[in-house]
Amino acid sequence: MTINLIPPKLKRQKEFNNVFSQVIFGLLVILIMLGIMSAAIFIYNSALTKDISRTNEKLAEQSKRSKSFKDTEALVKTANQKIDKIAEVSTDRFTWSKIIIEISNFTPKGVQIKALDLSQDTNSGSISGVAISRKEIAMLKEKLEKSGYKNVTFTSSSYNQTTNDYTFSLSLSLEGKK
C-alpha cells in the first residue's frame, strides 16, 4: 500500500507542469529543427543561385562562340562553293598543252604540221600539213585513232609536183580528251 502525501491539487499542478515542460521542450526542439532546416534550405538556395548564375554565364559565352562558329561555317561553305566552281571549270576545260604534245608525239618524221586548229566550243579540231607520202599521213591518222581521238577523217589531200610532197587536212573530235 502506498501513501500519497502530496495533496491532489499540488499533484495535478505538478503533472500539469511536467506536461507543460515536455510540450515546451518539444516545441523548442521543433523550432531548433526548423531553424536548422531553414539554414540548410537557405544555403542550398544560395548554392543553386550561384550555379544558375555560372550556367547562364557559360551559356552566354557558348552563344557567342556558337555565333563565331556560324560565321566561320558560312565562310567555309562559301569557300567550298568556290572550290567546287573551280573544280567544275577545270574539269570542263581542255588541257591544250597535253593535246598539242600528244599530237606532236604521234606525228611521223615525214609529216610536218603547218596548222593546228582546236576548238573547245565544238569539241573538234583540224590539222593541216605537208607529208612526203600518203603512207605518212595514214600513219598519223591511225595513231590519232588509237590514242582515243574520235572521227578522225581526211578533209583534203593533194600532191604538189613542184615540191614533191602531199598537202593534207584532217579533222577530229576532242571528246574524252580533257
Between 4 and 108, whose confidence is greater?
108
Full DSSP string of 66-100: HHHHHHHHHHHHHHHHHHHHHHHHHHHS--HHHHH
Radius of gyration (Cα) for the chain, nearest Å? 52
User: Taking a C-beta distance cutoff of 8 angstroms, is the pair 108, 136 a contact?
Assistant: yes
The residues, ordered by sequence, that sit 6+ positions from 154 with a Cβ below 8 Å of its Cβ are: 137, 141, 168, 169, 170
| Interaxial angle between packed helices 96-106 and 134-146, expressed in degrees from 0 to 180 and rounded to the nearest 10 | 140
- The single-letter DSSP state of residue 3 is -
The pLDDT tens digits of the residues spanning 108-159 come to 888 888 998 888 778 888 899 999 988 888 888 888 888 888 888 888 888 8
Stated pTM of the model = 0.49
Cα(40)–Cα(46) distance, rounded to whole angstroms?
A: 10
Nine-digit cell string for 67: 555565333
3-class DSSP state for residue 166?
strand
Which secondary structure element, helix H or strand E, spans residue 153, and what is its range?
A: strand 150-160
Instruction: Give the rounded percent of residues in the chain with a pLDDT score beyond 90.
Output: 36
